[in-house]
Structure 1
């Protein structure tokens, strides 16, 4: 029977943004108001696609669906590892979607694997290509509990060796752009037909025969519709999106056909606002279509094995019409944000990275052979250390698998360092380093940071000095930013000052300890920390701490103990000192004396001040100080409130500062009312009117956040206390008060929970129909709450 099937593929991916020394993503100013780009894109795209809204004709939420369960999607390891630590609910929803899709698609999951950290495979050497494939497969299997059927090639950059390594690893198919096909023929025939991106039939899978005798299937996506989704207006209407896909089938087709597209997954919500909703509506429309079915690549391939074979165009990609020049030359491809900028810096950056890669690889092989029984197997298996967050248990299990004898402490430390050098040497090849417009942009800076970490470890462990050659090559990388004319200047300004060796990490640990915070080196799992703080003083804004920090790098084996002191007299008055352990009682005595700021320079060999702090450290400390600002303002208002009231009563114009104080105090009062659940809307209205009459206006973002938190707390309480209508009754009051100030409420999670309560609503309607007065009160409260949240109430009729 002929089948007409549709598959939508989303390549969901973010590069490694973690600090190579600490293992956590630092604050990124360009992602504001969010902490970093991973967080921002998660809010705009990854999370919404786990709970995409489908609206009815009245604009109410009719249903919430997990888009990942119906589409095909790339499960990129660098993204999933971040989600697992920082947004576990989103991560678990993505894993659950793959399990759900297996039930929907005859045992074939919607997720496919990805080369581990998104390097341009044709530009890599074979050992790194192998690592990318093997680590990508093992990461996938560890997360999804099954072997992947397909694998995404970063930027769809393809060569036969990479395809062969994928096939060797058990991968059945990949996805390419149609212009990457060179010739096709029907299996069993002798004549090849030259094809172009326009002439290739993309509605069938092809088999690509590989030099080893292996084979792999290739799906070539529909480029026209993919372009309309990514860069056109097709996502402005989900129904039109579905119609466009259906229109792509051959009229009166005589064989089964697959219409499929591929775009960046971030298109659905990040690049295109509400793209997740358009996708959800499109999928629903396709599911209800009589003559079309949704599928994923694995299911279609199993039902429709290739009848044709293909010869691919090697060293081509989906995002560079010049092949793969975007990642090694000045081909003219750019983001378009800076017309006239040159990308001549790309070639020297590629050369600098290649110098490090090619110098390190043979020395690593020699060193591994001295310690390990089977170095190749161990390198393949080292992804287990990353997945295990370098825990002591993961390290012990790894060593027991790959060493026949008892390794000395020195060999254990050396082995971990060698493995970390190799990991960093792969991360420094990530495609984003060359994709954008200038060597001073974050993607390029990040790959240079990884290179610096690999270079430093290679110097320590392999006695290999690569920094001079690397730096001199970067001198040839001419940038466009007048503040960083060359890659060498980027290195001097953005890389060298931000190296986190063990003493620098110890300084950061002391700074964080002043505020009772856990340091990123610990939260990432890359370091084991032991802290002792026998002397501590907190007196208002004055904070002092003196003690010892013991650090052990779980990832690289480095270890050290440091006497550390820190004092804080304000965000711009910070002094931190670090020493090798000496136990000098005089330092302790001086630090506790009248001039601790003078004691640190006198007694410690390494000094850091506010100017040395990273943006992440400043961000962490500033967040801790925000409540103090509010308390200070409220204190001033309380001290002067009687005078301010007198001035108002007498009709004397208020000074600007007094108006600001009143606006802030009023906002704090309104925030408190939200936090109480708005028990008296009349009081809220009266205060809101007073505050709105002031100049400046109330603190809208803070008020919106307070209202949103209370609404979410109320709906969670309703879910936890399923017979109690009181939490539900709060919600319309809070929403009503928020509307008085036109607050931009974030109701995403509250709406999700409200939808999940629909089943209980149906049950309570049944109880209410049988005369249960308490159930009837709950039903009415749910209806009002759902309405205020914009959720349609369905089912549950009483009677």
Structure 2
């Protein structure tokens, strides 16, 4: 009898990009990482590409790309970020689907997702169609195939959404068991009411729809809850046993035991959860009576024998249907049990007002410019996928306005489509999920609404912001710093807005440090810089020239003179003005080269920004660039005071506290230098470490750990590239030995992966060594020692 297990993970992050810049800014709450996407990637998405399976001694026995063995959703907004910022993780996820197709009879593990995770029952029909179309087209562009299934955000379901998915070729979705209303065998007349529970989740169900069919797969809710909120992920063997225990071994029909949780459960919500998942999958694959599967494969082999009617306007994370995304239903994160969620209603009302006011106006304006506005709207995801490159824009316009367009018409089409995109992003589910309107998800949807309203003022001549803020004044706030939701919008959402002039001024600031501005890095803007004058003398940075900024997303552009001056985090000025020509630039530079560069900029430029105007992202970028210079400055001070410190030490006189800190920093610098060289003489490292310990000098352990980890990873990469050279492996051993002196916290994930990849070479070298090859013996010995240092089992 066929018994199969399917584990589904819904991997998702919302769009966190600043709507005006197209890039994710620094988020303090994600520390020590730059932002939450980066943090969750480090804790979950990357580890799942190479999850560790340990032996009884705690050594790494195997690594598993879990994406290739489970069923998973990787939402478009997450994949877009990963493609840009973590291409190796993105590539591993795409490759896992390809490998999974080989494992599961041509059916890939990945399924599509409605584009930006809005609650489909609360969307209008127009947006529902676009969400399905964009989700499918984004999936096909990334995975090179059409999706068989599609995830409904928060599993929030209604018949219209299922109908649209089926019409687009989607065969199945995934629903929670409590979303089943009635079931019956196909062909039977009588229904069985399961709305109070009791649906048999070991079989798939056919859900009949007005225009076709969609398969609704109701997963095992009890085990899913225990994975997400219980302790099943503390032991991969117990996890596997729980899944095996869900079969009814007496039944004479095929059975599917399957669960669904947030993919972030495996590593982010539950530390080392990806390891428990990997061990569970390995255990199940070794079991003779069951097999792993994905939904597409199982449905192809076992078409539904029963049908189901769904409970509309229900979801997996709200016991009140979809109340969590439109009012005070009682559902919350649990972090603030006393807080009110009455703000959700006004925020939903404000967003719906903007959506419903914009939709007919945009449709009318768009319809006057393209012959098939619906298809053009659905195809506009190609612009997002192409990051609004000139080629992507030209291709889109050639497909949908083949008769040619004037520059103004071209710009108008792009602006209208950007209104449409922002109006969908402002409905993203995260805006209502958490506990206060001040939280990042809510602020993000308000930012998207602000951008949509701004573009509507410019392109359609309508101003919706007064009505929007008036509605938000009725939104109470739990955070005492803000009176109403309108105050939150003003302080946290509108403040994120930037225009072309601000982008141009920021470009000058970034140019001082040879950095690419986020607006250009995101692909949303084309930025051309021409810096005619520049000076970094005497620790003062000055720059002056011209910038041309063009929004690829809307076609808007500006040509500006730009200048910036930096003498410290509290002494920074950056500015723009209308172009004044070569002579005006020369005169401005003469002033900037004088004794008061900041004053000269204020005198010559019309829009001037100073330190209080810096965004958190700008402050983070600058601080990261100049912080390393602090170390050299301290070393310079130490070199000047070294003779005095030595004299005090020789005379037995106590050194001032500042001198002790200087000495500790200088010694740390010497240790860092040794680590950077691969510790060629470990005895020198040990001696200096002992001398520091004897004098109670505290080293910078974090810096030393990072340096050692980098050098070990570099050596591992060299060893992988040089098939017969034992030297880099011996370097790993030396560096790890030195790191253990303090001890240091090492990040060995990449090095371990490379080591595991060399185990096949190790087997060959051992064979050669057995035949008397001394070089092979040296390599094999070095690899065995390096693997032990990295915690990797050699065979």
Which whole-Å CA distance do the structure 1 matches of 2:535 and 2:694 have between them? 44
Please give the per-residue CA displacement for 1:303-356, whole angstroms capped at 9, x wherever unaligned. 110111111000000000011010000111111111210000000000111111
1:34 partnered with 2:33: yes
Q: Secondary structure at the match of 1:740?
A: coil
Match of 2:18 in 1: 19
Match of 1:126 in 2: 125
Match of 2:57 in 1: 58
Contact 1:549 1:562 in 2 (8 A): yes
Contact 2:729 2:786 in 1 (8 A): yes
Q: Secondary structure at the match of 2:4?
A: strand
1:355 partnered with 2:356: no
Please give the per-residue CA displacement for 1:462-498, whole angstroms capped at 9, x wherever unaligned. 1111111111111111110011221111122112232
Please give the per-residue CA displacement for 1:547-606, whole angstroms capped at 9, x wherever unaligned. 111011111111111111111110111111211222335434323333221122222221
Distance 1:726 1:359, change over 3 A: same
Which whole-Å CA distance do the structure 1 matches of 2:427 and 2:68 have between them? 32
Contact 1:48 1:269 in 2 (8 A): yes
> Displacement, 1:648?
2.0
Match of 2:3 in 1: 4
Q: Secondary structure at the match of 1:100?
A: helix
TM alignment of 1:248-287, pairs within 5 A: 248-287=246-285
Match of 2:609 in 1: 608
Which whole-Å CA distance do the structure 2 matches of 1:340 and 1:477 have between them? 17
TM alignment of 1:680-695, pairs within 5 A: 680-694=681-695
Match of 1:207 in 2: 206
Q: Secondary structure at the match of 2:740?
A: helix
Please give the per-residue CA displacement for 1:602-640, whole angstroms capped at 9, x wherever unaligned. 222211111011100000000111111101110111110
Match of 1:43 in 2: 42
Q: Secondary structure at the match of 2:207?
A: strand
Match of 2:227 in 1: 229
Match of 2:476 in 1: 478
> Displacement, 1:404?
2.4
Match of 2:744 in 1: 743
Which whole-Å CA distance do the structure 1 matches of 2:765 and 2:700 have between them? 40
Match of 2:770 in 1: 769
Q: Secondary structure at the match of 1:677?
A: coil
Contact 1:75 1:140 in 2 (8 A): no
TM alignment of 1:569-608, pairs within 5 A: 569-583=567-581, 584-585=584-585, 586-608=587-609
Which whole-Å CA distance do the structure 1 matches of 2:767 and 2:195 have between them? 62
Which whole-Å CA distance do the structure 2 matches of 1:96 and 1:404 have between them? 37
Which whole-Å CA distance do the structure 2 matches of 1:9 and 1:532 have between them? 51
Runs (4+) off by over 4 Å: 693-696
Match of 1:315 in 2: 313
Distance 1:116 1:540, change over 3 A: farther
1:462 partnered with 2:460: yes
Contact 2:18 2:496 in 1 (8 A): no
Match of 1:797 in 2: none
Which whole-Å CA distance do the structure 2 matches of 1:733 and 1:350 have between them? 60
Distance 1:694 1:196, change over 3 A: farther
Which whole-Å CA distance do the structure 1 matches of 2:687 and 2:108 have between them? 56
Which whole-Å CA distance do the structure 1 matches of 2:326 and 2:417 have between them? 27
Match of 2:77 in 1: 78
Match of 1:396 in 2: 394
The unaligned stretches of length 5 or more in structure 2 are: none
Which whole-Å CA distance do the structure 2 matches of 1:332 and 1:656 have between them? 56
Contact 1:659 1:695 in 2 (8 A): no
Match of 1:139 in 2: 138
Contact 2:444 2:493 in 1 (8 A): no
> Displacement, 1:694?
4.9
Q: Secondary structure at the match of 2:284?
A: helix
Which whole-Å CA distance do the structure 2 matches of 1:628 and 1:766 have between them? 51
Q: Secondary structure at the match of 2:34?
A: coil
1:506 partnered with 2:504: yes
> Displacement, 1:724?
0.8
The unaligned stretches of length 5 or more in structure 1 are: 795-799
Match of 1:155 in 2: 154
1:373 partnered with 2:371: yes
Match of 2:553 in 1: 555
> Displacement, 1:695?
5.1
Which whole-Å CA distance do the structure 2 matches of 1:407 and 1:666 have between them? 67
Contact 1:732 1:784 in 2 (8 A): yes
> Displacement, 1:650?
2.3
> Displacement, 1:693?
4.2
TM alignment of 1:163-242, pairs within 5 A: 163-196=162-195, 198-212=197-211, 214-242=212-240
Which whole-Å CA distance do the structure 2 matches of 1:242 and 1:625 have between them? 50
Which whole-Å CA distance do the structure 2 matches of 1:201 and 1:538 have between them? 72
Q: Secondary structure at the match of 2:368?
A: helix
Which whole-Å CA distance do the structure 2 matches of 1:472 and 1:590 have between them? 47
Which whole-Å CA distance do the structure 2 matches of 1:143 and 1:563 have between them? 40
> Displacement, 1:696?
5.9
Please give the per-residue CA displacement for 1:251-280, whole angstroms capped at 9, x wherever unaligned. 311111100000000000000000000000
Which whole-Å CA distance do the structure 2 matches of 1:224 and 1:427 have between them? 33
Contact 1:180 1:197 in 2 (8 A): no
Q: Secondary structure at the match of 2:536?
A: strand
TM alignment of 1:422-571, pairs within 5 A: 422-571=420-569
Contact 1:715 1:754 in 2 (8 A): yes
